Amino acid sequence: MRNLLVPSQAVFNPTMNYVRVFCGFSIMEEIAKRDKEQLYNFFDSYITLIELGSKLVLDISTEAEDITIVLQENNKEYILDWILDYTIDRNFRKDQFEIWVSDFNCKKNINKKK
């Protein structure tokens, strides 16, 4: 029997001190379908662990997609800006939020906010 996560299900790893939230097979499944308030509320459900020093990890690594292209194709390019704004609004350290993807060129493919 395999232990599989379903979208939006979270697992806390106390050894590595992070909360991993499985976001399905595409950023569109669990992240980009939300408006800004819903997205902030979704992240806020993990805020206690983050305030205690844990890292929040959005796991979108099951499929190799270029999330910039996927967001552009769905007219949702602003989602990454919302995520960045959220981390700034909540005073996260840079090492407290990660998005796991299978795109080996993600640093090159994602435009930096100006």
Q: How far is the C-alpha of 106 from the C-alpha of 24, rounded, in Å?
A: 18
| Mean pLDDT to the nearest integer, 69-88 | 91
pTM of the model: 0.80
In the chain, which ranges are continuous DSSP H helix?
27-30, 36-44, 47-51, 67-73, 79-89, 106-109
| pLDDT, tens digit (0-9, with 9 covering 90-100), for 33-68 | 899 999 999 999 999 988 899 999 998 887 778 888
Does the pLDDT at position 114 exceed 80?
no
Angle value at C-alpha 51, between 99 and 4, nearest 5 degrees = 45
pLDDT of residue 68: 82
The residue ranking higher by pLDDT, 62 or 32, is: 32
Q: Comparing C-alpha atoms, which of 81, 3, 92 is closest to residue 56?
A: 92
Angle value at C-alpha 11, between 91 and 77, nearest 5 degrees = 55
Banded pLDDT at 1 (limits 50, 70, 90): very low
Query: What's phi and psi for 58, nearest 5 deg?
Result: -95, 115
pLDDT of residue 6: 72
